[in-house]
Amino acid sequence: MSHALAELLAEGPPTKEAIDRFASAHDIPLVDRDGVTFLYRGEAEQVFLRLFISGLPAAQPLERVVGSELWLLRFALPAESRFEYKFEVQRGGSTEWITDPLNPNCAADPFGANSVCQGFGYLPPEWTLPDEGARAGSFDEFALDARGLGRRAVRLYLPARLRRTRRYPLLVLHDGSDYVRYAQLKVVLDNLIHRLEIPPLIVALTDSPNRLNEYVGLDAHADFLVRELIPAVGARVPLDPDSSARGAMGASLGGVAALHAAWRHPGTFGRLLLQSGSFAFTDIGENKRGPVFEPVVRFVNAFRANPGRPAERIYVSCGIYESLIYENRSLVPLLTQNRIQVRYEEARDGHNWQNWRDRLRAGLTYLFPGPLWMVYE
């Protein structure tokens, strides 16, 4: 227990006012070198910490300080961890999942928002913050009719100072809108390009209205990217035709879609950035992740049997607290055995957008190294 919390409890059950004073004077949850303490204040029959860490129970009960409205839970947490959570509050026969009222730090995702716990030593990377000095890129939009998939809106990230006389690398991104909304993609691209850590590049941001069908190893989706999307982008902006200047990227099922497209069309994408890919497979027996994963397992099993060389260089990352850590770790030796240059990174984080945001610099600079050593403006 932290010294401050021990002081709060030293004189018996704290009053409502004392708890509020304490909460406003400290960052909640309380984080120290060894662990984290969660606090909840309020009347309830039971309060659970709902967290998304593989290896820990999904629901952990907070313990009420007798005679008070204060609920506590403490557990050990390795330094530099970061994860997202909610409280489940049971009161008057109803159950409610809420973000932590005492913690203003929330992360948004397509399903809403979660509270964020930043372990000891974790700091959001400074390159994810807007830099007024960085020249801002822009977005351009167009739509095309994808064969077998329907009409698709595509957003292009165009780097600042785009020149028609120059040919640019292209990165095809799955769940592009979510990357912009939840992982600060545009800020990161602007900053890394400005700092010369990556070259000015074009990013084609795609979204799918039906990712559970299209991002699971669907041939039509891979064909759309290669035969329709890339030529359409190339008609709008000058692209470097070399495969080393062409990448595909995605997180979760988006990672599956990126790997599948590169595998189905070898020689197209020289670079792959795969974040927490849902690379479910079976060595023997049935898929236990549910019917959505049936096509994923079919593709990943086929890939594992015959990986070929989908790209020359691949960056793979995964959160240690994700259930997918086993699948991602298993992917790495398979890739390296096939003469693919691989950079693999793990972080003490979960399956979420801020984890993917925090790995963008390492991934992008590995795949598309910028002219940092040569350019001094």
By beta-carbon proximity to another protein, the closer residue of 17 and 126 is 126
Neighbours of 137 (CB within 10 A): 21
197: closest CA among 362, 36, 29, 343? 362
Closer of 14 and 199 to another protein (Cβ):
199
Task: State in Å, rounded, how far the first CA of the chain is from the last one.
Answer: 52
Query: Of 163 and 309, which has the nearer Cβ to another protein?
Result: 163
- By C-beta, is 93 or 133 nearer to another protein? 133
* Minimum distance of another protein from residue 134's CB (angstroms): 11
Bridging pattern class, strands 106-109 and 59-61:
unpaired
CB 168 → another protein: shortest distance, Å?
A: 11
Nearest CB to another protein, comparing residues 302 and 362: 362
> Which CB sits closer to another protein, 53 or 367?
367
Token couple for 95: 């159950």
Is 215 or 315 the residue whose CB approaches another protein more closely? 315
Give me the half-sphere count of Cα atoms (radius 13 Å) on the Cβ side of residue 244.
6
Q: How far is the CB of 192 from another protein (least distance, A)?
A: 8
CB-nearer residue toward another protein: 21 or 166: 166
To another protein, the closest distance from the beta carbon of 357 in angstroms equals 15
* Contact residues for 210 (Cβ-Cβ < 8 A; gap 6+): none
**Single-letter amino acid code for the residue at 309:** R
Which residues in this chain contact another protein in the complex, by CB under 8 A?
133, 161, 163, 165-166, 195, 197, 361-362, 365-366, 369, 371-377
Q: Could you tell me the smallest distance in angstroms from the CB atom of residue 82 to another protein?
A: 20
For residue 115, the one-letter residue type is S
Instruction: Answer whether 84's CB lies under 8 Å from 319's CB.
Output: no
CB of 128 to another protein, least distance (A): 13
CA 89 to chain centre: 28
Task: Provide, rounded to whole angstroms, the least separation between the CB of residue 44 and another protein.
Answer: 46
CB of 269 to another protein, least distance (A): 20
CA–CA distances in Å: residue 11 to residues 22, 67, 73, 259: 14, 12, 20, 59
User: How far apart, in Å, are the Cα atoms of 47 and each of 42, 63, 151?
Assistant: 10, 8, 46
Query: Helix, strand or coil for residue 377?
Result: coil
The answer to whether residues 307 and 332 touch, using CB atoms and an 8 Å cutoff, is: no
Rounded to 10 degrees, the C-alpha dihedral 317/321/327/330 comes to 70
Are 255 and 279 in contact by the 8 Å Cβ rule? The answer is: yes
Give the bridge partners for 178, in sequence order: none
d(CA 295, CA 56): 28
Tell me whether residue 28 or residue 342 sits nearer to another protein (CB atom). Answer: 342
